[in-house]
């Protein structure tokens, strides 16, 4: 098959779309499919994703006609769309092409016009959807989380539990849009262990982070876009994280965490995690400190979170989605 992927990413918009679709791209390549990215951010795609993909540059973020033309030109069998701008009208125009259209839910609307809708979020099965035309296939819930291969390997390993926390992790995603990392570092002021601080490619607050590392008494490791995130999470006893796609990686590695929503579209996920007691969720700088102190000091809560996370994300999401590509192609 020839699989098209419509996604953008970069420092200003974040890298979540490329991380998620990269998991699909890797699964397709592993199965022998050709993968073509249709994107307005070709440089970010080329530096973030496997070299064996083909990159087709687009001029407009929200013009579906340009995408339809590219589908025909590239002879795409199935298009996977992960794009905020892919609203109902956008999907409807894509669906007029000969390609099968698979859409990753974009948070903004629940009326869809596609062959398959993928939404691997905790709260996805509780949402009410409407559709135009034939009812789509709905792939909803954590079974369809699109994990990177390194996390799929870690899920298969025995999880590590330590009663006394000695390692912590701070990760705000590809770009720290709310400048949360320095505040999270301050929350570990009294921690006697080591704190790994992940610095994404879109971070613009490096000076403040470096100052925090120098002035605070804790031991910090500043790590620039590390390629071993799965192992960093696996060995962490506690984490502070944005509530983007990273939380599913933390669930997969069973790392108890404090979630700090960074943008509006993370709030539904944050509330779902809070409601089913899978994480501590905080929304102000003060509660980051109190949340970290409470979770570090409460062995029972950390153990409960660790146990509840088992099996929530099993790492097989990319394979399940690929199976639908195969089932409904042509």
- Count of C-beta atoms within a 10 Å radius of residue 33: 18
pLDDT value of position 16 = 83
pLDDT value of position 328 = 61
| Cβ pair 86, 106 in contact under 8 A | yes
Calculate the alpha carbon distances from 254 to 164, 230, 238 in Å: 16, 11, 10
Q: Is residue 180 scored above 60 in pLDDT?
A: yes
pLDDT value of position 233 = 95
**Would you state the structure tokens that stand for residue 260, as one six-digit string?**
């700090």
What is the sign of the dihedral through the CA atoms of 299, 301, 305 and 308?
positive
pLDDT value of position 163 = 87
pLDDT value of position 34 = 97
Q: Is residue 11 scored above 80 in pLDDT?
A: no
pLDDT value of position 284 = 73
Q: Is it true that 2-147+315-328 and 150-308 share their CATH fold?
A: yes
pLDDT-derived band at 149, boundaries 50, 70, 90:
confident
Q: Is residue 283 scored above 90 in pLDDT?
A: no
Q: Give percent above pLDDT 70 in the chain.
A: 98
Q: What is the mean pLDDT of residues 157-171?
A: 89
**Would you state the structure tokens that stand for residue 139, as one six-digit string?**
């792939």
- Per-residue pLDDT of 60-84, as tens digits, reads 999 999 999 999 999 999 999 999 9
Calculate the alpha carbon distances from 54 to 20, 29, 46, 115, 250 in Å: 17, 11, 9, 24, 31
How big is the CA angle at 300 (ends 184 and 294), to the nearest 5 degrees?
Answer: 30
CATH number at 150-308: 3.40.50.2000
**Would you state the structure tokens that stand for residue 165, as one six-digit string?**
């926390």
Find the range with the poorest average confidence among 175-179, 228-232, 237-241, 326-330: 326-330
Query: Rounded to whole angstroms, how far apart are CA atoms 116 and 101?
Result: 7
- Per-residue pLDDT of 88-117, as tens digits, reads 999 999 999 999 999 999 766 689 999 999
Q: Is residue 329 scored above 60 in pLDDT?
A: no
Q: Is residue 330 scored above 60 in pLDDT?
A: no
Q: What residues contact residue 260 under an 8 Å CB cut-off, 6+ apart?
A: 172, 178, 180, 184, 240, 241, 242, 243, 281, 282, 283, 288
Q: What is the mean pLDDT of residues 200-228?
A: 93
pLDDT value of position 303 = 95
The domain segmentation of the chain, as residue ranges, is 2-147+315-328, 150-308
Query: Rounded to whole angstroms, how far apart are CA atoms 236 and 250?
Result: 10
Find the range with the poorest average confidence among 4-8, 204-208, 263-267, 326-330: 326-330
CATH topology for the 2-147+315-328 domain: Rossmann fold (3.40.50)
Q: Is residue 30 scored above 60 in pLDDT?
A: yes
pTM of the model: 0.89
């Amino acid at each position: 098959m020839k699989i098209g992927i419509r996604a953008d990413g970069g420092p200003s918009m974040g890298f979540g779309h490329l991380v998620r679709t990269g998991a699909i791209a890797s699964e397709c390549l592993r199965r022998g499919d050709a993968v073509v990215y249709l994107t307005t951010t070709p440089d970010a795609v080329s530096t973030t994703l496997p070299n064996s993909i083909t990159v087709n540059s687009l001029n407009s973020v929200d013009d579906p006609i340009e995408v339809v033309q590219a589908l025909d030109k590239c002879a795409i069998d199935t298009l996977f769309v992960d794009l905020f701008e892919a609203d109902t009208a956008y999907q409807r125009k894509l669906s007029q092409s000969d390609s099968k259209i698979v859409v990753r839910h974009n948070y903004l609307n629940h009326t869809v016009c596609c062959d398959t809708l993928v939404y691997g979020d905790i709260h996805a099965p509780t949402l009410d959807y409407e559709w135009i035309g034939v009812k789509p296939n709905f792939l909803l819930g954590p079974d369809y989380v699109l994990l990177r291969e390194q996390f799929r390997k870690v899920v298969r390993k025995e999880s590590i539990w330590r009663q006394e926390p000695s390692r912590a992790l701070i990760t705000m995603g590809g770009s720290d849009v709310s400048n949360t990392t320095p505040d999270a570092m301050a929350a570990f002021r009294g921690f006697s262990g080591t704190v790994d601080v992940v610095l994404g490619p879109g971070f613009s607050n490096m000076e403040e982070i470096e100052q925090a590392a120098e002035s605070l008494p804790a031991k910090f490791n500043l790590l620039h876009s590390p390629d071993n995130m799965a192992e960093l999470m696996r060995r962490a006893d506690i984490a502070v994280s944005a509530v983007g796609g990273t939380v599913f990686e933390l669930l997969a590695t069973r790392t108890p965490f404090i979630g700090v929503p960074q943008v509006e579209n993370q709030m539904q996920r944050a509330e779902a995690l809070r409601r089913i007691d899978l994480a501590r969720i905080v929304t102000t700088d003060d509660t980051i400190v109190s949340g970290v102190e409470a979770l570090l000091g409460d062995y029972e809560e950390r153990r409960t979170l660790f146990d509840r996370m088992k099996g929530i994300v099993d790492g097989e999401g990319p394979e399940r989605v690929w199976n639908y590509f195969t089932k409904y192609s042509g």
